[in-house]
């Protein structure tokens, strides 16, 4: 094992890509532990934090207190939690509203229930409801009561305290749903890596079994299996995936089926070609002479000799499976919105590419590119090591 790693590390680029691949695998396994936030938990994020740039601090919304005032004899006062709301008649038809939040600055004050002909200085009136909003009030709010006398005036006051920093930083910003991009990317790596690895492994199992069967039985069995492979290879991979998911629907299991249907042909052809060469070997004739079962001969004797090229193809096909899953999720037919893979994250940020919100799509795209490139480089290095013609 030490010699194998030493030979592998002769290529510094391949060694670096191996470390990067192991890092992505660690993120896939330890995502719930190392992720700052669970992007599946809807209560963990808020739309108030949507589209924040990298390095932003999460803000916690301030409290809201409400009081209903009824002016009697020109003065009204009510306590709402730690706040005191006071209404004083300054002149006939003119009231002064003061909101004391214990020294804290107010974000907004909303006044509801005033007559339609009333007015509030410095306030923005709602186009439909009888509601006036004063933003960041620093002075007493002057209310012109209009046709209603202060003695029968009855209205509601809502005051919002400003948001406060929680100390939680969004290192890579947030997406359009308010999810932490770093957490979403870590979970996206988890889904993409696991789906790619399991899909490629399932393709190797199915394809190798069919390839060994084609080589062992030959004749019509070989012809049927190889013509099935030729037919599948004549159809673009993305089209096969789209057709499969259109029929079966979205989901991780459906994507795995699509990946197996697409990738089994490469493993079947490789296993068949290697098995045909091994069937002419003396150890296979000796196993047949001992009347060993065909299953035992194929699994215990022929398959181990087929594994080196199959493992190289497996490594490369993991990257292909990850790319396929990302493409299907980007097109909206892969995983559901509740399972943000890297392709889904890129699709969510695509509409913001030209609005200066680059991080929503760029960061998942860069991570996907690094993961695919690193796995491909590792696969190419393994292929060179297992090729005896390239040995020095």
Q: Could you write out the DSSP letters of every residue in 214-236?
A: HHHH-HHHHHHHHHHHHHHHTS-
Average pLDDT over residues 297-310: 87
3 state SS of 167: strand
34 CB neighbour count, 10 Å cutoff: 12
Q: Taking a C-beta distance cutoff of 8 angstroms, is the pair 318, 167 a contact?
A: no
Q: Taking a C-beta distance cutoff of 8 angstroms, is the pair 378, 25 a contact?
A: no
Chain mean pLDDT for the chain: 82
Instruction: Show the domains of the chain with their CATH numbers.
Output: 2-54+173-390 (1.10.3720.10), 64-162 (2.60.40)
Distance (Å, whole) CA 169 – CA 173: 8
68 CB neighbour count, 10 Å cutoff: 14
Angle of CA points 196, 40, 371, to nearest 5°: 30
Q: Quick one: how far is CA 64 from the chain centroid?
A: 33
Average pLDDT over residues 27-39: 88
DSSP H/E element including 77: strand 75-80
Closest CA to 18 of 385, 382, 390: 382
Residues 6+ apart with CB under 8 A from 109: 97, 99, 133, 134, 137, 141, 157, 158, 159, 160
Q: Taking a C-beta distance cutoff of 8 angstroms, is the pair 78, 69 a contact?
A: yes
User: Mind listing the pLDDT tens digit for each residue in 85-131?
Assistant: 777 777 777 777 777 766 666 777 777 777 777 788 888 887 777 78
- pLDDT value at position 17? 92
Give the percent of the chain with pLDDT over 90: 26
- Does the pTM of the predicted model rise above 0.85? no
Distance (Å, whole) CA 355 – CA 340: 22
User: Mind listing the pLDDT tens digit for each residue in 158-198?
Assistant: 666 656 666 667 888 888 888 889 999 999 999 999 999 99
């Amino acid at each position: 094992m030490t010699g194998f790693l030493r030979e592998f590390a002769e290529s510094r680029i391949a060694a670096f890509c191996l470390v990067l691949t192991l890092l992505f695998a660690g993120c896939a396994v330890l995502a719930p532990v190392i992720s700052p936030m669970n992007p599946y938990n809807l209560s963990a994020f808020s739309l108030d934090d949507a589209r924040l740039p990298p390095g932003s601090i999460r803000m916690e919304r301030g409290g809201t207190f409400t009081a209903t005032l009824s002016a009697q004899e020109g003065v009204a006062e009510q306590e709402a939690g730690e706040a005191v709301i006071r209404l004083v008649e300054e002149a006939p038809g003119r009231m002064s509203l003061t909101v004391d939040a214990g020294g804290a600055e107010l974000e907004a004050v909303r006044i509801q229930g005033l007559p339609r002909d009333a007015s509030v200085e410095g306030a923005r009136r709602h186009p439909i409801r009888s509601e006036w909003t004063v933003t960041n009030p620093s002075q007493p709010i002057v209310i012109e009561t209009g046709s209603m006398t202060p003695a029968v005036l009855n209205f509601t006051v809502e005051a919002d305290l400003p948001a406060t920093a929680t100390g939680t930083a969004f290192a890579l910003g947030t997406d359009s749903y308010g999810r932490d991009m770093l957490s979403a990317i870590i979970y996206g790596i988890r889904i993409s890596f696991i789906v790619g690895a399991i899909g490629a492994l399932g393709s190797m199992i199915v394809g190798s079994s069919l390839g060994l069967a084609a080589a062992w039985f030959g004749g019509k069995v070989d012809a049927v299996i190889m013509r099935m492979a030729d037919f599948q290879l004549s159809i673009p991979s993305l089209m096969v995936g789209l057709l499969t998911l259109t029929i079966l629907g979205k989901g991780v299991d459906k994507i795995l089926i699509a990946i197996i249907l697409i990738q089994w042909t490469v493993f079947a052809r490789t296993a068949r070609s290697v098995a045909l060469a091994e069937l002419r070997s003396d150890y296979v004739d000796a196993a047949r002479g001992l009347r060993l079962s065909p299953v035992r001969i194929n699994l215990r004797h022929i398959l181990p000799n087929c594994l080196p090229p199959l493992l190289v193809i497996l490594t490369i096909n993991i990257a292909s499976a990850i790319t396929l899953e990302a493409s299907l999720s980007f097109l909206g037919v892969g995983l559901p919105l509740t399972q943000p893979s890297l392709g889904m994250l890129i699709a969510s940020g695509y509409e913001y590419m030209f609005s200066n919100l680059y991080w929503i799509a760029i960061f998942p795209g860069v991570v996907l590119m690094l993961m695919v490139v690193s796995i491909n480089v590792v696969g190419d290095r393994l292929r060179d090591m297992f090729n005896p013609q390239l040995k020095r």
